[in-house]
Amino acid sequence: MSFLEKIHLASDYVKSRLEGRQPEVGIVLGSGLGKLADEIENPLVIPYGEIPGFVVSTAIGHKGNFIVGTLSGKTVIAMQGRIHYYEGYGMQLVTLPIRVMVRLGIRYLFVSNAAGGTNLNYHVGDLMLIRDHINLLPNPLIGPNLDEFGPRFPDMTRPYDPALIHLAEEVAREENIPLQKGVYVACSGPSYETPAEYRYFRLIGADAVGMSTTPEVIVARHSGIPVFGISVITDVAHATEDEDYVTDGEAIVQAADAAADKMSLLFKQVFLRL
């Protein structure tokens, strides 16, 4: 079975479960950020394991469900947990949920992640609007082009939609939510970064580093879907210079969870204005 056939099979199955609902906004909820899913009204939960061709997320803090319902008056389809390259899955499987969302007709994609702050001015718990990225993962568009979805060489000049960023900044000012804005770099993981790697990422222009997000964004932009991205800063580079410092996965999820209320409020208020 070709990848295109797998996309059609999975999206047809999800569509058959939607009872006529038409998702307008796709959401990807990263590590520890699944709390927003609890705010979705009239939720329909579809575990990844029930969807043909999908794989199950194994990462900490990723439940592995599609949740379809209403948020701020918009019909949304949310990934409660994503698929990562470091789990051993190829890029087709990592981005299959995004292809399904696109085929279901989403008009926007909102992505979130937990990230390490390479910018020395960042603190644990900060929210960073992603204005651009550096992708150090394999490009998910390698291989035969899916002409049904987009062109062979999609433009990536503005991977994160300037209008959506501006809208989020307006909401943040009104709601008194402090925001950073910077560049996200994606590497493979699953090992956390060394102090030298943190310094390297800072030198090449990255403000935050993580192990996800860019494949999903590239696939969405391949189909011309406007993207909004936000990182929750869950650990910081300058801390790794301490001799006793240890990066703790559980602590990172806890830090992301503590910032989830601010992110949820921001997302909901932006949805109201779409």
User: Which tokens hold the place of 102?
Assistant: 């696109």
CB 95 within 8 A of CB 140: yes
Q: Are strands 65-71 and 41-47 parallel, antiparallel or unpaired?
A: antiparallel
Q: What is the Cα–Cα distance from 112 to 127, expressed in whole angstroms?
A: 10
DSSP assignment string, 72-119: TTEEEEEEES---GGGT--HHHHHHHHHHHHHHT-SEEEEEEEEEE-S
User: Which tokens hold the place of 164?
Assistant: 């959506």
Enter the DSSP assignment of 87. G
Q: Report the pLDDT value the prediction gives residue 234, as an integer from 0 to 100.
A: 87
Other C-beta atoms within 10 Å of 176: how many?
A: 6
User: Which tokens hold the place of 82?
Assistant: 């994503």
Q: Report the pLDDT value the prediction gives residue 77, as an integer from 0 to 100.
A: 97
Position of tokens 């993207």?
227
DSSP, collapsed to helix, strand or coil, labels residue 129 as strand
| pLDDT tens, position by position, 91-110 | 999 999 999 999 999 999 99
Enter the DSSP assignment of 70. E
Q: What is the Cα–Cα distance from 268 to 248, expressed in whole angstroms?
A: 30
Residue stretches of the chain with pLDDT short of 70: 31-33, 58-62, 238-258
CB 239 within 8 A of CB 252: no
Q: Report the pLDDT value the prediction gives residue 130, as an integer from 0 to 100.
A: 98
Beta strands in the chain (DSSP E): 25-29, 41-47, 65-71, 74-80, 108-117, 127-135, 180-186, 208-210, 227-236
Q: Report the pLDDT value the prediction gives residue 256, as an integer from 0 to 100.
A: 65
| pLDDT tens, position by position, 221-252 | 999 999 999 999 988 876 555 565 565 556 66
Q: What is the Cα–Cα distance from 2 to 7, expressed in whole angstroms?
A: 9
Other C-beta atoms within 10 Å of 79: how many?
A: 27
DSSP, collapsed to helix, strand or coil, labels residue 259 as helix
Other C-beta atoms within 10 Å of 39: how many?
A: 16
Q: Report the pLDDT value the prediction gives residue 260, as an integer from 0 to 100.
A: 80
CA dihedral of 78, 219, 114, 82, whole degrees rounded to 10? 50
What predicted TM-score, i.e. pTM, was given to this entire model?
0.93
Q: Report the pLDDT value the prediction gives residue 30, as an integer from 0 to 100.
A: 80
Amino acid identity of 177? I
Amino acid identity of 208? A
